[in-house]
């Protein structure tokens, strides 16, 4: 059984410049942890090895506060104890990081063209809850929609997921398999202002996420660094030789052990270690789909600190 803790959710969001609030100790926390990095359903309840994102709405009444929604997400309900989702987006557009482990958000479902029968969506997908009634009585604010799209883009690029691995809760149920009867996310939003209480169009949502990513980051074109001039941190990939010394975000030092070790230069500055050629190919494919550059170059002085500090795992 594979149970993966996504303790780098903060790195994924930071790399895309998404502000967020870390949900630490919380009075209604069903699993009783004091840190989102250790919060999740017990391994005895099932696996967690996500290969994509499942988008939801909370179905809470219009005007519900972020605190009230978080109370429900952390506690859950009689059929689905908390935490309910990995991330929560408040009505004001605030992003909250809730849990790094398995959450009770998806239940049984079928991913079109992936699952042959009802499968455990809590194991297969990372869940995002966003504050909206979903009845048509509450139009999604443009600010919340833009945050939603940025969060989805950040997670997809960071974890190497394609646009086809972004789903709506409704699309894992009827008419694809009948494993659930969910309608979320639903309600009028920026790209479907006359939707009423209907479910979003999945392809319209996917394209909006891609278009926003291109609009906000395609201008960050990678260029080899000029050590004599100050310049914005580029996006792309760098390779380093064995013995290269760099620094982690916490200030500690690391040393590259293998020639050709590759790092991804993030849009917001900072580096992410690429563990193997397969991960490199996947991330390059995701960036290409989003219309972003995928250049790779070698550091002229073998110094990754030229590009930024290493976020997440060390090589």
- Kindly report, residue by residue over 144-168, the tens digit of the pLDDT: 999 999 999 999 989 999 999 999 9
Residues 6+ apart with CB under 8 A from 164: 206
- Is the confidence at residue 227, as pLDDT, over 70? no
Residue labelled with tokens 């990513």: 213
pLDDT of the residue at 223: 43
User: What tokens does 71 get?
Assistant: 């109370």
Q: What is the mean pLDDT of residues 276-281?
A: 82
Q: Give, in order, the Cα–Cα distances in Å from 96 to each of 36, 85, 175.
A: 10, 10, 32
Task: Please give the CATH architecture assigned to the domain spanning 9-217.
Answer: 3-Layer(aba) Sandwich (3.40)
Distance CA 182, CA 80 (A): 15
pTM of the predicted model as reported, rounded to 2 decimal places: 0.83
In this prediction, residue 236 has a pLDDT band, given cuts at 50, 70 and 90, of confident
**What is the pLDDT averaged over residues 49-70?**
97
The residues that bridge with 120 in the sheet, in sequence order, are 108
Name the residue ranges covered by the structural domains of the chain: 9-217, 236-306
């Amino acid at each position: 059984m594979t149970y993966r803790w996504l303790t780098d959710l903060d790195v994924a969001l930071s790399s895309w410049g998404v502000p967020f609030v870390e949900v630490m100790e919380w009075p209604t926390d069903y699993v009783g942890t004091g840190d989102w990095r250790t919060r999740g359903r017990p391994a005895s309840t099932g696996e967690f090895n996500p290969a994509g994102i499942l988008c939801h709405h909370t179905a809470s009444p219009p005007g519900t506060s972020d605190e009230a929604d978080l109370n429900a997400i952390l506690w859950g309900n009689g059929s689905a104890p908390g935490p309910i989702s990995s991330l929560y987006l408040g009505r004001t557009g605030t992003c909250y990081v809730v849990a790094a482990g398995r959450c009770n958000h998806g239940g049984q479902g079928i991913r079109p063209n992936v699952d042959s029968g009802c499968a455990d969506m809590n194991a297969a997908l990372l869940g995002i809850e966003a504050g909206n009634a979903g009845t048509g009585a509450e139009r999604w604010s443009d600010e919340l929609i833009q945050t939603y799209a940025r969060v989805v883009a950040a997670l997809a690029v960071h974890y190497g997921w394609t646009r086809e691995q972004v789903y709506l809760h409704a699309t894992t149920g009827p008419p694809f398999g009948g494993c659930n009867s969910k309608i979320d996310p639903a309600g009028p939003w920026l790209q479907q202002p006359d939707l009423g209480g209907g479910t979003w169009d999945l392809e319209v949502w996917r394209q909006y996420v891609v278009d926003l990513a291109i609009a906000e980051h395609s201008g960050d074109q990678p260029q080899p660094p000029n050590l004599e001039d100050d310049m914005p941190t580029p996006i792309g990939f760098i390779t380093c030789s064995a013995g290269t010394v760099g620094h982690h975000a916490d200030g500690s030092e690391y040393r590259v052990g293998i020639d050709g070790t590759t790092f991804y230069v993030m849009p917001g500055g900072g580096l992410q270690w690429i563990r193997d050629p397969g991960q490199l190919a996947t991330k390059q494919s995701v960036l290409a789909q989003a219309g972003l550059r995928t250049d790779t170059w070698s550091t002229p002085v073998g110094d990754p600190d030229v590009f930024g500090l290493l976020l997440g795992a060390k090589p």
